[in-house]
Structure 1
Amino acid sequence: MKENPIKIKIIKPQVEEVVPEASNSNFEASEFTTAWQKIAKICLYILTGLLPLFFLPITIAPVEINKQMLATILVLVAFLCYLIDSLNRRAIRYPKSLISLGVLIFLILTGLSATLSLAQENAIFGNLIQPDTFLSFIVGGLIFFLAAVYFKKNDLNKLAVYFFAGLVLTAIFGSIQIFGKFILPWNFSRSPAFNSIGSMSSWGIFISFGLVMIVVGLISLEFSKRQKIIVAAAGLLMMFDLFVLNIQMLWVGLALVMLCVMFLRFTQRLEINLPLIIIIVCLLFILLGQRLPSLVNLTTEVRPSISATSSIIKGTFVGVRQILLGSGPASFGFNWRLFRPVALNQTAFWLTTFNQGFSFAATLLITTGILGILAFFFVIFAFIRELFKKLPLKDNNRTIVTTGLSFLLINLFIFPISFSQLFFIFMALGIFVHGSEKNYEINFYVGDKSQKIKGLMSFLLTIFFIALTFFTIYVIGQKYIAAAYYQRGTLDSSLDMAISDLTKAKSFDSRNDVYLRMLSNALSLKVNQIGSTPVSEQTMQSLSGQLQNTIALALNFGTLATQFNPLDSLNWSNLGNVYENLIPISGADTFAEKNYNKVIELDPHNPQGQVDLARMWIVSADKSQERDAGWQEKLNKAESALNKSISLKSDYAAAHFLLAQIYFREGDINATIRKVVDLVNITPNDSGLLFQLGILYYRANQISQAQIAFERAVSLDQNYANARYFLGLIYDAQGQKQKAIEQFKKIQALNPDNNEVKSILDNLRNGKSALSGIVPPAQAPENRIQTPVGSKP
């Protein structure tokens, strides 16, 4: 049927049969329809310009959560307008093309994968952070659909203005940030690596995407002199940003697209100078970029290598469901913990959990399986097929969009994806489809019997989707409010206030395992607080009831977190910790052991799981009434777990620290020291073993020997914060205040949020003892069951 977005000739006669004033009724409906279309387009215009820039400080992830929220709400409002527009027009309009079929199949398969995922809530929503959730793909699919239905040729000019404004402002803001000129007051924004897109590579992809379309626009469109100067200046700014970033694979992607542009223009005997210049620049940076001096000092961005991602693929594909549909959208992080290379423990990134693999395409294979990646390839195949059918493209605006889309698609195989990239891929696909294919309509009340049935079903389906859209907007709004309360809860200085805000977050989003876990953890801390509060006999009964209720809530919410997301080892770790805090209540250590073993099962190469299990057995042994065979058995279990932890990460401070604590509890510390000295003589460059020896000397009051061991450990590993901690205490005890200050300043640089280190530095600078006002009330550092500054950085 010929496309006609407003007037439907076949409806008017039917309306005249029922309503006497037919023409007037149709006129009003026509005006109403136009208004809904305008609202839908305005939503998409706003998104195009604002999405790259948008972030707010009211959630734990200022960029990701707020971008997804903005896009989800505005896209749903635009889709709602489309549905109401369809009711007024008595017809459903949709883009009929091979690409549309591919997008639909992709959404169905990712939805099926999310439904079958063990972490279903995470697969669908992903805390509104991950860009590869089912919700993100649905939003992308709706953007594609709306762009294909609504964006005509004369809409693209207005759309380009919005996009260009957002692009330039995003580039300017990122440039200011890179050079350390922070214009925003929030702490999270005061870093050269912060930008309004996400990671530095994501920002670079977006800038390159804009540069591609600027270059094609300059050689394809007619600009006034003033317009050409503005567009060219923006292109130079983006080229400069790419120089500063100097990410080699970005140059590769840019060169490939420019090569395609140059080839097509060459075959059409058109000017090729500008794309040729860009290709030459790209080749220079590909060959020489790593040898060029850096203009700014940016933190190196890391991601899993191809080989590491391949090992995750191999580990994940263990059953028919996993092979066909993967582990579920947004589940790469859980697979990473389960199958990551153990060699990573010897690097600075051993605690890092990556939420995507080497590239989006590789991540998609893991999370949605072979069927998901085949559907993704089918969409790309359909795009390429339609593109070759339409070559050479006669519409310059669509040529620009198609070139930019090609660049973004190439980068799906080179980099992880950001939500902004996902948004513009689907929008560009929709624009491409609208320019390549005609839209089709299903009328509600015309035709033969079969068509009328089809029309009736379409009408009922439209009503259903209107209700579903309203419900989804409500759910997403609830989740956003929950995210705001969650951020407040993590920042509250008062434990009671934190519990109150986390409870509100849980009430708005009751199935979010992160909120449940954090609330459970806060309540567990409250249990400790109540238990350590001195009380009179009069208040004992009321506090006993409060204590029991708090314990029950902590266990309940911790258990719910493991039920809603059994794949996240952090949920099981929290529940194990809650039970650990209840020791010596009968059975608490057994339940704690069960949960910590689940942590080890889900994150087998992380040494912290074994340390948590060992700490629990030490606590259980310490609270035993007698030093009998059971007491020794618990320490033996702890020692076994710590040795496993050290086998995973030989320099892990927490494991060595607790192992020294076990030796001290068992009594013959001098014999233990001799044993460790023999081990140090065998492996003299093992900083972890030297730290353990230093702790043993420190506890045996052999301070000079401890100093030698700690100094040796620090010389081998400059970032060994816990070794520096005890070395600083030794210098302080010797009256060498300046040396002590130097040690704790270096610790603070590695652990800027450690309040105890801040207090120690204040004491030393004021001429006090390092632990003045800290010990007591706190335990002496050598007597604790956790290292003073957490794990070794």
Structure 2
Amino acid sequence: MSGIKFFESTAQIFNVAVHGGLVGLAGLFFAIFMIGWSLFKIFKSKVPDLDSESVGIASSVIAAVIAMFFYPFNLALIFTFYSLLALFVLTFWDREKKTYDVEKKASLSLISSLGFIGGLILTLLGVYFVSLNYVADLKYVKALNQTEIKSAMDYVIEAINWNEKDDRYYRLSSQLALNLLSSELSKPQADQKAENVQNYLSSAVALAQKATQVAPQESNNWNNLANVYQNLMQLVNGADALAESAYLRASELRPGDPSFHNRIGSMYLFKADLVRQLMVAGGASAQQLNQQVGAALLKSEDAFKQAIELSSNFGLAIYNLGAVYERQNKLNEAIGQLEKIAPFNSNQAGLAFELGLLYYRANQKGKSFEQLQRAVVLFPDYANARWYLALIYEERGEIDQAKEQLERILSIEANKDNQIVLSKLSELDAGKVSIPPGKVLDQKPL
């Protein structure tokens, strides 16, 4: 729930304040004041002239006004409120009639004419801008319904041309530009066009930035910009720092939401894994890359801790912090993080599997064995869990049980021709045991 953004408050009065601002709030309170003033004048008279219909309308309006301070209104309730308000005006303000003859006063005639012309101009302008927004939204909906990225991009660009003040269009178009970039990069090197790559890359950034300019107080725009930068980490140096800055801005706008810090942590965790892949054995280069891995893991750790500080039961951040500790070789700390969330995720075979591997690395083999058994109970076709379970049985000297696990792996259609499993089963059938104590995890997963 911590990452959910609510668009309606608990009372309609707050919705009016947020969506209408001071002008909308002032208009609403003016209407409430006029309702109260009208009722006060009627009840102040010695003999109030009220029939049953008038009492019913007045009671309904009063109930609606009170409800605005306690409940949010949907479209039907808003329509009902303004309908009751119109009936109230027709019922209670019809008692006092004043007639003005604009032909007898030149000033009054001029004012009424100017008022009519001004009202007509405002109406026409309103119709014009509403029509622009309506057409833009139609294009936007068409873009969302497209299955081809290029067609969706064309429609959302049309929507922007009709209405350039809607940040939703820029968010969607930036993500579509990222998809086009990904599609271009997935092509064989000979078929890639550098011009297209550069165009899609710059478009994704520019459109995401434009969204933050159109609506700078909307956290979704900053989150989207950060996401764009994060996706460009492998292409643009320093993109991670720009992404972090955008995530922090989003966090400022939604200070109680820990998801932004979790995303920062995930980004630096990904960077650490990425740099680790680039490391080469020995030399200054390897040492420098190793320092980059350490720095990225420290930033990741700090971000996950901030997320957990904001929401102590944020399971994803707790799990991710455990992943950071695992990469830092802090096995006991990593196990501690996963043990915190294990009771609340007792049906997750993957969590039991990872916890089992961590227990083994920490030389807690009994617990490791229990967790791997739990993983295959939760998901009987979990090949990797059965693979390591077979290796532990082999390490224990329980060869029949090890062979049973391997045979179960081969019974799965996708694994029936797996040469690694077939070779291991052949070795065990031949009486050859090749797993020395403590070396189970030296074997790669399937």
Could you tell me the TM-score, scaled by structure 2's length?
A: 0.69
Q: SS at the partner of 1:358?
A: coil
Change (3 A) 1:644 1:383: same
Q: 1:454, CA displacement in angstroms? A: 4.1
Query: Any residues of structure 2 matched to 1:196-275 within 5 Å, and which?
Result: none
State yes or no: 1:733 paired with 2:383: yes
Q: Cα gap change, 1:516/1:709 in structure 2, threshold over 3 Å: closer, same or farther?
A: farther
**Cα 1:678–1:410 shift into 2, 3 Å:** closer
Which of these residues, 331, 345, 352, is aligned with residue 4 of structure 2? 352
Question: What SS is found at the alignment partner of 1:521?
Answer: helix
Contact 1:660–1:692 (Cα < 8 Å) also in 2? no
* 1:674 aligned residue: 332
Give, in angstroms, the shift of residue 439 of structure 1: 5.6
Aligned to 2:63: 407
Where does residue 576 of structure 1 map in the other structure? Answer: 226
Report which structure shows greater RCO (CA 8 Å, sep ≥6). Answer: 1
* Structure 2 CA distance for aligned equivalents of residues 767 and 444 of structure 1: 91
What SS does the corresponding residue of 1:552 show, helix, strand or coil?
helix
2:127 counterpart of 1:473: yes
Q: Is the 8 A contact 1:577 1:592 kept in 2?
A: yes
Task: Indicate yes or no: 2:74 matched with 1:418.
Answer: yes
In structure 2, the CA distance between the partners of 1:707 and 1:639, relative to structure 1 (3 Å rule), is farther
- Pair 679,484 (structure 1): closer, same or farther in 2 beyond 3 Å: closer
On the 8 A contact 1:650/1:688 being kept in 2, the answer is no
Is the Cα contact below 8 Å between 2:319 and 2:338 reproduced in 1? Answer: no
How far does the alpha carbon of each residue in 1:238-280 deviate from its partner, in whole angstroms, 9 at most, with x for none? xxxxxxxxxxxxxxxxxxxxxxxxxxxxxxxxxxxxxxxxxxx
Distance 1:601 1:609 in 2: 10
Identify the residue that residue 85 of structure 2 maps to in structure 1: 429
**How many angstroms does 1:385 deviate by?**
3.2
Change (3 A) 1:412 1:579: same
Q: Do the aligned partners of 2:2 and 2:311 also contact (CA within 8 Å) in 1?
A: no
Aligned partner of 1:591 in structure 2 is 242
CA shift for structure 1 position 694: 5.0
Cα distance change, pair 709–412 in 1 and its aligned pair in 2 (3 A)? farther
Question: Pick from 692, 695, 700: which aligns with 2:354?
Answer: 695
The 1:594–1:735 alpha-carbon spacing in structure 2 relative to 1, beyond 3 Å, is closer
Tell me the CA shift for residue 412 of structure 1. Answer: 1.2
Q: Given that residues 322 and 333 in structure 2 are in contact (C-alpha distance below 8 angstroms), is that contact kept between their aligned partners in structure 1?
A: no
Residues 373-402 of structure 1 deviation map (CA, whole Å, 9 limit, x = unaligned)? 566344324313323433645455444433
Provide closer, same or farther for how the CA distance between residues 366 and 491 of structure 1 changes in structure 2, counting only shifts above 3 A: closer
Matches within 5 A, 1:173-212: none
Where do 5+ consecutive residues of structure 2 fail to align? 279-285, 387-410, 416-446
Question: Counterpart in 1 of 2:194?
Answer: 544
Q: How many residues align?
A: 368
Residues 707 and 727 in structure 1, CA contact (< 8 A), matched pair in contact too: no
How far apart, in 2, do the equivalents of 1:549 and 1:630 lie?
30
State the one-letter code of the partner of 1:527. Answer: L
Who is 2:436 aligned against?
A: none
Judged with a 3 Å threshold, the aligned counterparts in structure 2 of structure 1 residues 735 and 579 are, in CA distance, closer, same or farther, namely closer
* Equivalent pair of 2:222/2:249 in contact (CA under 8 Å): yes
Distance 1:679 1:535, change over 3 A: closer
| Aligned positions of 1:298-337 closer than 5 A | none
**1:644 is the counterpart of 2:295:** no
1:697-718 alpha-carbon deviations (Å, 9 max, x no partner): 4589889956855999xxxxxx
**Residues 378/727 of structure 1: CA separation in 2 closer, same or farther (3 Å cut):** farther
Q: Residues 651 and 430 of structure 1: is their aligned pair in 2 closer, same or farther, counting only changes over 3 Å?
A: closer
Match for residue 558 of structure 1 among 196, 208, 212: 208
- Whichever structure has more helix as a proportion of its residues is 2
1:637, CA displacement in angstroms?
0.4
Distance in 2, matches of 1:590 and 1:679, equals 27
The answer (yes or no) to whether the contact 1:660–1:696 under 8 Å persists in 2 is no
Q: CA separation in 2, counterparts of 1:556 and 1:443?
A: 59
Structure 1 unmatched ranges of 5 or more = 1-348, 713-723, 737-765, 771-793
What TM-score, normalized to structure 1? 0.41
User: Is residue 9–residue 15 contact of structure 2 (8 Å, CA) maintained in 1?
Assistant: yes
Partner Cα distance (1:707, 1:652) in 2: 28
For the structure 1 residues 371 and 486, does the alpha-carbon distance in structure 2 shift closer, same or farther, using more than 3 Å as the test?
A: closer
Q: Give SS of 2:201's match.
A: helix
Q: Deviations over 1:526-559 (max 9, x none)?
A: 21221122242xx43xx21111111222112111
Q: Quickly say closer, same or farther: Cα 1:591–1:652, change in 2 above 3 A.
A: same
Q: Which residue matches 1:45?
A: none
- Closer/same/farther in 2, CA of residues 700 and 493 from structure 1, 3 Å limit: farther
Deviation at 1:435, TM superposition (A): 3.0
Provide the rounded CA distance (Å) in 2 between the counterparts of 1:684 and 1:350.
Answer: 16
State the Cα distance separating 1:609 from its structure 2 match.
0.4
